[in-house]
Amino acid sequence: MSRIRLAVAAAAVAAGLTLGTAGPARGGYLTQNVIIMVADGAGANTYAATNYWTGMSSLQQGPAWYKTWASTYPLRFGNTPIAGPAGLAQNPNTVYNPARNYDATPVGTTTGGYPDRFAGCQWNKTTYPDSANTIAAVMTGQKTYNNAVNVNGNGTPLKTFAELASVDRGKAAGVVSTVQFADATPSVGGGAHNVSRANRTAIANQMLTAGVLDVVVGTGNPDYDNNGNLRANPNYSWISQADWTKLTDADPTNNPGGFRLIQDRAAFQALVTDPNAAGQKVLGVPKSFDGTQAYRGPNGLTASTDNAFTTPSGPTCRPSPR
C-alpha cells in the first residue's frame, strides 16, 4: 500500500465513523463530525519551522491525534488531461526524490525568471505540484495532473470525500475558505469536478447546483475589491453574472441550488440564533474579492506599517508562478 493510499484509507475510516458505519471512536464516543483543515502549501518543514520559532509543538502534533502523510507530487508536469493509458501513467521524474531535492550541485540555468543556482532548486521548479492536484490527491486518493479538479489523468471525474458523505450517505457537507470559494483548494474539497481550475465560473456553478454541498463560504465577491470597497463595475471572474444576479435579486426561489446568500458580518452572526438556518443552504461571500485578509492594500483597511510580510529583494531560488 502506497503512502497516499494509506493516508486516504485512514481518512476514510474517520469518514466512516462520521457516517455511522463504524464503532465508537476513542473515549467511547461516536464521531459526530469530520473537519479537514488545509493550510494550503504547508508541509512537514512548515511545522518544523513553526516549532523552532515558537519553541513548542502545535496541538495537532500531540499524542491525542492520529497522524499520517500523503504524498502529493503530480502524475506529470502538465496541466491538461491526456486520453488513454498515457494519461494515467506516472512520470518518474515528478516522483519526490530527497537526493534530487537537496542536490547542491551548482548550475547556471534560469527557470521562471530567476536563477536556479543549484540542481535541486532547478528540479523543484520543473516538477512541483499545484494546489488543485495536491488536494485532489488527498480528497480522492489518486494522483493527477496540475490544474485538475477531482479528475484523473484522462479527465474522468473521481469520487471525493464530500460526495461520500453527501451523495452516498445523505449527510451534510460544506466548504469554508479565506480565499475565493471556487479556487482550487476549496472547490476540490467541495467535491467539484473540472479538467481545469481556470474554469472558475463553471466550477462555482457546479458547487452551488450539483447537490453535494449545504454550506459554501469564501470570497470572490464580484461587487467589492480587496479592501471592501464597492466597485463601479462588477468583476465576474469567480462567479458568473447570471448566477450572481439570481443570488442577489429579490426572489430567493430563483437562487442557484436553493442557496441563501449572506455577505456582511451581521448576517453571519445572525446565523447563530436564526431558528430557520438549520434547514437552509447557505452561501457566505464576504465583501472582498481575493481573500478575507491577506490581500488588503496599504490604502485600504490596513496601514502599510501593519504588513506582517514583505517580499525579499533579489530571490535566488524561487518556484515558477502556480
> Tens of pLDDT along 196-207?
999 999 999 999
In this prediction, residue 271 has a pLDDT band, given cuts at 50, 70 and 90, of confident
pLDDT at 29: 65
In this prediction, residue 300 has a pLDDT band, given cuts at 50, 70 and 90, of low
> Tens of pLDDT along 163-180?
999 999 889 999 999 999
The packing angle between helices 241-248 and 200-209, to 10°, is 40
The packing angle between helices 3-18 and 131-140, to 10°, is 60
Residue 219 DSSP class? E
Give Cβ neighbours of residue 227 (< 8 Å, ≥ 6 apart).
Answer: 288, 296, 297, 299, 300, 301
CATH superfamily of 72-81+131-297: Alkaline Phosphatase, subunit A (3.40.720.10)
**Strands annotated E in the chain:** 110-111, 114-115, 174-180, 215-219, 259-262, 281-284
Going from N- to C-terminal start, the domains of the chain cover: 72-81+131-297
Q: With the C-alpha atoms ordered 249, 209, 290, 38, is the resulting torsion angle positive or negative?
A: positive
Say whether pLDDT at 191 is over 70: yes
- Alpha-carbon span 270 to 264, nearest angstrom: 10
- Alpha-carbon span 92 to 94, nearest angstrom: 5
Rounded to 10 degrees, the C-alpha dihedral 51/53/55/56 comes to: -30
Question: CA-CA distances (angstroms) from residue 45 to 42, 67, 292?
Answer: 8, 15, 26
